[in-house]
Structure 1
Amino acid sequence: MSEQEATKPDDSPQPPVPHIGAFVLETLTLGMYGEPRHTLREYVQNSFDGIRAAQRVRFLRGRGEVTVTIGADEIVIRDNGIGVSADQAWKTLTSIGASKKDRQRDAGFRGIGRLAGMAYCDKLIFRTSFPGEPTISKLTFDCDTLLKAMNPDEGGEVELSRLLARSIKMTTTEDASKSEDHFFEVTLKGLSKAPEVLTSPSEVRSYLAETVPVEFNPDWKRRTDIEEGYRTNFGSALETIDVFVVADGKTEQVFKPYGDSYEHANGTMELESIEYFSGGESRYWAWVGKMSESAAVTDWRTRGLRVRVRNIQVDGTEISERLFTKVKPSYGRFSTYYVGEIYINPESVIPNARRDGFEETSTWLDIQSELITTVCAPLASEAYTASQRGQLDVERVVNDIGDLVKRGNSLAESTRSSYDQVVELMNSARRLRRRAASALKIIDDLDATAVDEGHPNRQKSVLLKDAAKSVESVETQARMLVGRFLEEDDKLTALKARLREEILQEVLDVINAYVDPATYQKIKRQLTRTR
């Protein structure tokens, strides 16, 4: 074949251009973010990338800031990141499923997150400026038009690129005085379709504290050790930005919600210690907080071990719960007995499009295997052992209460019962009541463990609650016995003397702690003479 023949254009008929319908956009937006607040995570994540880009090229030397302002009919997310240049604004912000971001360096890289809020507003507005440019670019997406085209009754007949072209408008304004400004701003305008969880300031603050790359609370004393451990393992500081929520005239900065105490089903427990775990080749690093009691943390913002990449949470606690079940199917619940974070090296994994897990690469499979062996297995074993210990403690409390009831009945029936015996009975009942109350705080978790282990007959809640009621009966019985002593005239004088003696001794014990020995003896003699 000659060179001329080889380069001859192909005159054969070209196949028709494939039709891409509006339903594709639905899959990439409405179908991608099931939890409405995930849209805020996507926008803050984009802000995080923009801020880090500005810092890399020295346009931003201070802290990165993101402000989420919740108004009556709009939500505005604004950052001081690098923004988008005027000549790139249209192409960048209208590209769907395409992005210039680097997966190895940026948190987002698929180019689908910018339309995350489309389902909850009438218009989605992007405003931005770039360092050194006087131009502010504004693109407005008509969400009503886009959503109508995605209606199942429309059948997806509208071609996606044409739909977007007629649903987006761009305008620019010039302001030479603002040429040094740089920002990116997203506005969800017209919130009639937005659920309350997306417009409630408290719900938004809570969600952002849990998911986005903010700092630990400055007042939390453990934060310094965690940050230093992260730096030692990865060789760089934990990246954070300052996030503020503005609503009802009040501005509040968002911090991660960890602290020194945590709620469980029946009370509060303290953070007792923190343990650290390192993965091979620095593929992950984790801190795990252990509690003063063996019980599940009930605060959904902190319970369990949270997996994070670039300090942004991936999923909730589902990943770590699945890893705990790999140790043993019934051990999944033990992940909630701890708080903590597992930071995965971003060079080792690829978050999936929904950001509720990772692409199943061989490296991620290896990391999971290592986490199961080095983190989940020892923690689950420790929680299980504590649970078994709790079961034994409950059994001892129930048995001791049974003995107390027998002793109370014996004293009630005896004609030789003494005042001292009744007082000791009351003191024993008081101590057992406290032990029973403490055991009841964790009984739900102990019973759940018994069921998980296939031993439902070992549940102790009903038994312990009945035993606690028995303690109350014994205390009532003891008070009646004291009353019987008071009704006996020949013992009344001796009883009063005994009571005075006990009160005097308690007073002297208090005085002894605050005065010198000589003064104490003088007070004691004086009180003794006036008895």
Structure 2
Amino acid sequence: MSEIKIGKNAIENLTRGMYEDSRIIYREYIQNAADQIDYAIKHALFDEDLFIDIKIDKNGRNITIKDNATGVRRDMVESTLAYVADSDKIKGEAKGFRGIGRLGGLAYCEKLRFITTAKGEKQKTIMTWDAKALSKMLDDETVRDAAGTILQKIISYEYEECPIDDHYFIVEMLGITNENVDLLDTEKVKEYIALNAPVPYDSKFYYKQKIYEYLKKKGFPKNEYKIFVDGEDIQKLYTTTLFERNPAGQRRKYDDVYDIKIQEFYNDNGELLAWMWYGISRFEKQIPYPLNETAGIRLRQSNIQIGNERTLAPLFKEARGNLYFIGEVHAVHKGLTPNARRDYFNENSVRNEFEAQLKYFFHSTLHPLYIDANRAKNAYKKEIALYKKEDEYSKKKGRFISDREKQKIEHEIEVAKTEDEKAKRELTRLKTKAESDEVFRVVLMHIEDNHKKSLKNAGFSKPNPKALTSPIPEEHPQKKKKGYLVDELSNLPDKQRKLVSRIYDIIARNLPPEQSEELINKIQEELKNGKKNSLN
């Protein structure tokens, strides 16, 4: 049997065809660096802080990613870096294990360079991959070389003296191509790394201590690393404040994260599949994204994001459900293996169990949580609507423009009262539910507090103000004044006042409220000033 040939298209699939977002290459190199830092810490190799440092040279179109972990010994460089899909990392333990991620940089630059040395060596190894030449060979249909032959043609080695105590691994992507300038956008890169890489929570997210206590109790590693981008220490973007845009387009706060809840997911054998935390807010609405960069329940493994904010959306009862929350699902079972793109897990029985457990929790717990929160908010809105309608009646009393308007508002008050009674029954039901649901109890408490603020802002300072007026007509109305606007026009005969009342009614029914009110007030003032001739 002749030797099996692996064609050059395999290289293209592992470089150009691997990722939709070029920034994923940062995640791949950070992932490799994190594995080496883990190894150095596990074996207590160094007595110093270990870090990953990224520098972006926008003008020179170069990117440097350096870690000060173990580095690679000179005699191991070729087998470690040139052999494709031949990693000696253990699946389920190392963050990267396929031995293909390092090739990703070839798709985005003209030269890819690895510079490394291990402690005790006097020389550093400089391994250069000619990405520009590779691109030409991949595009040239006359080149029929096997994948291995092509790689041998584009790889070269150099060696330079270095201090014997040095230990590092540097990735240089030189000459970033025009199609991939996003890699040079420092702010976008910082945001990408903050969302995707294994970095610590920001100090402003003070619920992080609850997460750390859980990890300590379970004996799980934090999987957090010091990652710098142009000198800035990158941290996760979670905060306790949720934002929206006001009509002027400015950012403003609309909700808070009042606490977090931790949940675990086990399979039928009692093995832990994953754990998660999610934020508890008033669940005012879907969290505006990307204004709130961390919106949605995110999937992570070894504290590295899998996919994006939409990855877990299909497991919710309705697609919008995921964006009512912030939070993270951390997969821990070794049977949950990320696919080559790291946008989800390979299909197997463990993944099926994982999805079933999450789906049940999302449907039975998270879905009712934001649905009942909305019911509570709507119920409280009915109360405010009634008070506003009664207040409108009270202010109108003595200045109705017609019987039609008076009767209309009285009817609206009766309808609002009926709706308010229904809302009170709904609130009673929800408060009963909250007695046995600690999470919903927190949600309902803050919805009620926010309702009291809304009452105060609307001018109803008491939580349960009494009806401001009785809209029901008296059984024996007095024959004097009925309380209409035209009654103020005492200088006009009854016949003319009735005509003015009809005119006011027509205006009110045919113009928007603000315009009709303004016009009616102008006419009223004119007539009160004695200008009767306008009707003669």
**TM-score of the alignment, normalized to the shorter chain, above 0.5:** yes
Q: Which residue of 2 aligns with 1:292?
A: 282
Counterparts of 1:181 and 1:274, CA distance in 2: 43
Indicate the residue corresponding to 1:510 in structure 2.
none
CA deviation after TM superposition for structure 1 residue 174, in Å = 2.5
Number of the residue aligned with 2:178: 193
Bigger Cα displacement from structure 2, 134-143 vs 51-60: 51-60
Q: Match for residue 211 of structure 1?
A: 196
Pick one of 310, 321, 330 that aligns with 2:313.
321
- Cα distance, 1:22 vs structure 2: 1.5
Residues 310, 346 of structure 1: 8 Å contact kept: no
**2:25 aligned residue (34, 39, 48):** 39
Looking at secondary structure, tell me which structure has more helix per residue: 1
1:244 alignment counterpart: 228
Number of residues of Structure 1 aligned to a counterpart in Structure 2: 411
How many angstroms does 1:471 deviate by? 8.1
* Alignment check: 8 A CA contact 1:401 1:471 kept: no
Match runs of 1:64-213 below 5 Å: 64-71=50-57, 72=59, 73-151=61-139, 154=141, 157-175=144-162, 178-213=163-198
- Of residues 239, 246, 260, the one that matches 1:259 is 239
Q: Distance in 1 between matches of 2:227 and 2:16?
A: 25
% identical aligned pairs: 27
What TM-score do the two structures reach when normalised by structure 2?
0.70
Q: Distance in 1 between matches of 2:122 and 2:165?
A: 8
Query: How far apart, CA to CA, are the structure 1 residues paired with 2:245 and 2:281?
Result: 14
Does the C-alpha gap of structure 1 residues 256 and 404 become closer, same or farther in structure 2, counting only changes over 3 Å?
same
Equivalent position amino acid for 2:282 in 1: S
Gaps of 5+ in 2: 247-251, 403-452, 460-510, 530-536
Match of 1:383 in 2: 370
Moved more, 18-27 or 73-82: 18-27
The reply to whether residue 366 of structure 1 matches residue 353 of structure 2 is: yes
Aligned residue number for residue 56 of structure 1: 42
- Distance, in Å, in 1 between the alignment partners of 2:454 and 2:262 is 38
Out of 263, 270, 275, which is 2:256 matched to? Answer: 270
What's the CA shift for 1:392?
Answer: 5.0
Opposite residue 209 of structure 1, the aligned amino acid is A
2:504 is matched with none
User: Post-superposition shift, 1:50?
Assistant: 1.0
2:407 corresponds in structure 1 to none
**2:439 alignment partner in structure 1:** none
Is the Cα contact below 8 Å between 2:62 and 2:174 reproduced in 1? yes
Structure-1 separation of matches of 2:298 and 2:7? 37
Contact kept, 8 Å, 1:119 with 1:193, in 2: the verdict is no
Q: Which residue of 2 aligns with 1:425?
A: none
Cα separation, 2, equivalents of 1:254 and 1:313: 15
**What does 1:453-472 align with in structure 2 at a 5 Å threshold?**
none
Q: Match of 2:312, SS?
A: helix
Whether the 8 Å contact between 1:21 and 1:156 is mirrored in structure 2 is: no
Measure, in 1, the Cα distance between the counterparts of 2:106 and 2:5.
23
Deviation at 1:403, TM superposition (A): 6.0
Cα offset, 1:470, TM superposition: 7.4
| Secondary structure in structure 1 of the residue aligned to 2:339 | coil
CA contact 1:214–1:255 (8 Å) conserved in 2? yes
One-letter amino acid of the counterpart of residue 351, structure 1: P
Residue 406 of structure 1 and its aligned partner are, at CA, apart by 6.0
Which whole-Å CA distance do the structure 1 matches of 2:260 and 2:515 have between them?
A: 43
The CA distance in 2 between the partners of 1:433 and 1:133, in whole Å, is 73
**2:122, 2:515 → 1: CA distance?**
82
* Aligned CA-pair RMSD: 3.1
Structure 1 residues 57 and 404, CA gap change in structure 2 (3 angstroms): same
Aligned to 2:6: 20
| Gap change, CA 1:264 and 1:173, over 3 Å in 2 | same
Q: Give the Å deviation of 1:262.
A: 1.7
Give per-residue Cα distances to partners, 1:472-502, cap 9 Å, x unaligned: 6799799x69x97xx99xxxxxxxxxxxxxx
Mapped pair 1:340 → 2:327 = yes
Post-superposition Cα deviations, 1:67-98, rounded to whole Å, max 9, x if no partner, equal 11000220100011211110010221111111
Amino acid at match of 2:80: T
Q: Report deviation, 1:158.
A: 2.8
| TM-score of the two chains, using structure 1 as the length reference | 0.71
Note the C-alpha offset of 1:203. Answer: 0.2
Q: Deviations over 1:107-143 (max 9, x none)?
A: 0000110011212111000001112212201111100
Distance 2:274 2:516 in 1: 56
Question: How far does the alpha carbon of each residue in 1:378-415 deviate from its partner, in whole angstroms, 9 at most, with x for none?
Answer: 11111122234445556666676666666666543479
CA distance in 1, matches of 2:366, 2:193: 28
Indicate the SS of the match to 1:381.
Answer: helix
Q: Contact 2:283–2:370 (CA<8 Å) still a contact in 1?
A: no
Q: 1:470 to 1:52 in 2, by over 3 A?
A: farther
Name the CA distance, whole Å, in 2 between partners of 1:354 and 1:214: 20
Deviates more, 1:404-413 or 1:254-263: 404-413
Instruction: Identify the residue that residue 344 of structure 2 maps to in structure 1.
Output: 357
SS of residue matched to 1:150: helix
